[in-house]
Structure 1
């Protein structure tokens, strides 16, 4: 079903965002055009500007929604592990990777530009939510003795780099695994990182 068939009066903003993701998937963000999206959906060329001032505003809305959904999915799986920072870190990492795999276009867009280049009032808050969850978990792990006494910022950076890089390798097709294989593979990688590789 195409975007035009999905459009109904009253949900133009959502229809534009959905069509934009499809356009990004097929042609890349650089070729995104509000006027082209309007034609695709079947509305006047002026209609999109009631919701988005320009292309940057639309991209910002997509990225902001992506950051919010990522944080929400991480919170959902980490909530049951508040007293288990190791488990929380593992579950949060898995949720991060699943989000990237299921929404690769949005994920790439979220990290395609520095946050200050996006034009959205909520972007700054959304951008930090997932990172804050990671930082809070590391703080709990250090305070409880569940994590080795390394520098907190170094642990956060190492953990984020591992998960972000792993997700990027998958969505770029460098690692070809299905959902179950991805989870098993990342668990193995996590064990190696947790234990260290130096004999």
Structure 2
């Protein structure tokens, strides 16, 4: 907190005049970061083909990855539940909205025959875990140990996402 206060040019106690605790402050940061993430996903969704729900589903993963790679510190905050109140109404509502959109798109893909037979919820969970894991690998600096140049990590991550979509596409 002292470092943060120093960075923004206020006294060490100033943030606590607005936030009751470090957790409350980081939760507010996470809510703002999640708003930006949701906007990035919405922008990517706008570019996806309207007639194929699986392409729209993939667009969510693309938006998520592009945002997480461009905003590693904010991704770190929203993905580290130990430092935020994840059950805050704002964070929970945003997460539920994204999860419901993913479930709806995947169910639509199944209903329209775009998806191999299987458990729709497991496909959604797998895609979420894949995108989250790739973003964590970026933050944790793990791509080098897997032979992926840091400059190519986003491109390679998109290829992995595309491969996942290919494996579930009917």
* Fold similarity call, TM over 0.5: yes
Counterpart of 1:161 (choices 129, 140, 155) is 129
Q: Is the 8 A contact 2:57 2:102 kept in 1?
A: yes
Between the two structures, name the one with larger relative contact order (CA 8 Å, sep ≥ 6): 2
Aligned to 2:161: 190
Aligned to 1:110: 78
Deviation at 1:94?
Answer: 1.5
Aligned to 2:37: 70
Alignment root-mean-square deviation, CA: 2.7
Q: Is the 8 A contact 1:138 1:156 kept in 2?
A: yes
1:144 and 2:112 are equivalent in the alignment: yes
Provide the secondary structure at the position in 2 that maps to 1:141.
helix
| Correspondence 1:28-107 to 2 at 5 A | 33=1, 35-80=2-47, 81-107=49-75
Alpha-carbon separation, structure 2, partners of 1:102 and 1:172:
14
Deviation at 1:191?
Answer: 4.2
Structure 2: runs of 5 or more not aligned: 144-148
Counterpart of 2:140 (choices 159, 172, 176) is 172
State which structure, 1 or 2, has the greater radius of gyration over its C-alpha atoms.
Answer: 1
Aligned to 2:146: none
TM-score by length of 2: 0.79
Q: Is the 8 A contact 2:57 2:105 kept in 1?
A: yes
Greater than 4 Å deviation, 4+ residue runs: none
